[in-house]
């Protein structure tokens, strides 16, 4: 049996399939070990300028991209503080979208949850119906629900939300962006945020986001923006090619290295690689069930499956945490179910810099574990 710490012929990469944090290539880890620069001088201006260009291409936007040295949850809070005037409709279909609702309540705005069962996606028609009551000035949604592997139809939802004047769409694409297509400007997203440790395949600790002009206008009218997540402050700093406060400079080095690699591969190629990895997992689950008689199934329905994470239902004989333990003994890291799905499911994070080839090795090991029992 191999141990996770043993490095094999692949250079050790390709064994860590947690749906966040994801595996980070050694080049990216090493990029962090560079000397400090002042955060108010020319070195920082050059760094921020390069990061802006790379990030704008990743977000498919011409707007500035905010860089927060906090985890993604920080920018979920920023979305609420800067984007909600009075009452927000929170689309809830899993643990992270539920958290968005809780953050809204904790920030002191009125918030209603529109819940659909975990494993389901949100239906634009149902959202339209909920908004027609005319009570909400913003909507939160999670693009790729990391707890269930569901991908919400963001473009369609944006179309519906923007049918209601003065209603903003706030999108958590933490496990989507960089792995699943996101067209910030074309889809007219008012706020879209992500974190560094999912499909970006960076160490945890950075939050990234884009705000529409409409959102920035609203933010200027609001008095509950606070300090640390005040997007006007972020904007003022970016105008000077700086970040507010002292940023995590080492993480910015990692981001610079990874952006160069992402654009070398090509963003659409990166999306395609993620699609291929997802299809590999989906076909494997079907084959295990129909070909090998192992009763496993994918929680999310086919048109709404995330290309970055798959949540798989287990037979009663084995729990998520037990399977995680067994795979660890084989030298692989996968995720147990999340929240209330902890025992009955497990999750594979097929995102970031993983490849179909390394994923196949994982699936072979999983197969031995599930069939061999
Ligand atoms: C991981 C994740 C978060 C939380 O990110 P942190 O960096 O831990 O704050 C939020 N939303 C989704 C969809 C996630 O996958």
**150-151 and 345-349 beta bridge pairing:** unpaired
Secondary structure string (H, E, C) spanning 77-89: HHHHHHHCCCEEE
Q: Is 289 exposed, middle or buried (0-12, 13-18, 19+ CB in 10 A)?
A: middle
Instruction: Among 318-322, 358-362, 368-372, name the one with the lowest average pLDDT.
Output: 368-372
CA-nearest residue for atom 5, ligand 1, is 72
27-264 has CATH 3.40.640.10 classification: yes
3-state helix, strand, coil in the chain (%, to 5): 40, 15, 40
Q: What is the pLDDT of residues 114-140, one digit of tens each?
A: 999 999 999 999 999 999 999 999 999
Q: What is the pLDDT of residues 30-61, one digit of tens each?
A: 999 999 999 999 999 999 999 999 999 999 99
Which atom of ligand 1 is found nearest the CA of 175? 15
Question: Within 6 Å (CB) of ligand 1, which residues are found?
Answer: 20, 71-73, 96, 142, 146, 172, 174-175, 195, 198, 204
Alpha-carbon gap, residue 283 to 289, rounded angstroms: 10
- CA of residue 349 to ligand 1 center, whole Å: 13
pLDDT tier for residue 148 given thresholds of 50, 70 and 90: very high
- Choose which residue among 172, 179, 193 to substitute to test ligand 1 binding: the one with the highest number of ligand atoms within 8 A of its C-beta: 172
pLDDT tier for residue 373 given thresholds of 50, 70 and 90: low
Mean pLDDT in residue range 67-83: 98
Q: Where are the domains of the chain?
A: 27-264, 267-372
267-372 has CATH 3.90.1150.10 classification: yes
pLDDT at 372: 79
- CA of residue 147 to ligand 1 center, whole Å: 10
CB-based contact 211:66 (threshold 8 Å): yes
- CA of residue 145 to ligand 1 center, whole Å: 9
Q: What is the pLDDT of residues 159-193, one digit of tens each?
A: 999 999 999 999 999 999 999 999 999 999 999 99
The total number of residues shown for the chain amounts to 373
pLDDT at residue 5 tops 80 = no
pLDDT at residue 1 tops 50 = no
pLDDT at 246: 95
CB-based contacts of 362: which residues, under 8 Å, 6+ apart? 14, 15, 17, 332, 334, 348
């Amino acid at each position: 049996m191999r141990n996770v710490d043993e490095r094999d012929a692949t250079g050790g990469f390709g064994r860590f399939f947690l749906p966040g944090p994801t595996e980070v290539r050694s080049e990216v880890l090493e990029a962090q070990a560079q000397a400090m620069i002042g955060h108010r001088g020319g070195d920082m201006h050059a760094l921020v300028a390069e990061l802006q260009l790379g990030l704008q291409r990743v977000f498919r936007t011409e707007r500035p991209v905010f860089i927060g040295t906090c985890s993604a949850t920080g920018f979920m809070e920023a979305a609420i503080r800067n984007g909600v005037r009075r009452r927000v409709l929170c689309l809830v279909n899993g643990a992270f979208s539920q958290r968005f609702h809780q953050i809204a309540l904790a920030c002191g705005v009125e918030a209603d949850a529109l819940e659909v069962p975990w494993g389901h996606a949100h239906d634009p028609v149902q959202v339209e119906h909920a908004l027609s009551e005319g009570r909400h000035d913003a909507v939160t949604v999670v693009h790729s629900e990391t707890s269930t592997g569901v991908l919400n139809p963001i473009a369609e939802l944006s179309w519906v939300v923007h049918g209601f004047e003065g209603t903003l769409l706030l999108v958590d694409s933490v496990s989507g962006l960089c792995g699943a297509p996101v067209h910030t400007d074309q889809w007219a997203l008012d706020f879209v945020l992500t974190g560094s440790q999912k499909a970006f395949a960076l160490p945890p600790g950075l939050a990234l986001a884009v705000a529409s002009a409409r959102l920035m206008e609203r933010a200027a009218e609001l008095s509950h923006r606070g300090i640390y997540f005040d997007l006007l402050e972020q904007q003022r700093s970016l105008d000077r090619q700086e970040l507010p406060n002292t940023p995590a400079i080492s993480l910015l080095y990692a981001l610079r290295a990874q952006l160069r690699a992402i654009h070398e591969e090509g963003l659409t190629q990166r999306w395609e690689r993620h699609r291929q990895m997802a299809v590999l997992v989906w076909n494997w689950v079907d084959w295990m069930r129909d070909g090998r008689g192992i009763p496993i199934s994918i929680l999310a329905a086919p048109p709404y499956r995330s290309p970055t994470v798959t949540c798989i239902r287990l037979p009663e004989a084995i729990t998520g945490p037990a399977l995680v333990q067994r795979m660890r003994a084989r030298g692989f890291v996968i995720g147990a179910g999340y929240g209330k799905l902890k025992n009955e499911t497990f999750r594979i994070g097929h995102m970031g810099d993983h490849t179909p080839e390394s994923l196949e090795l994982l699936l072979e090991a999983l197969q031995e574990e599930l069939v061999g029992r």
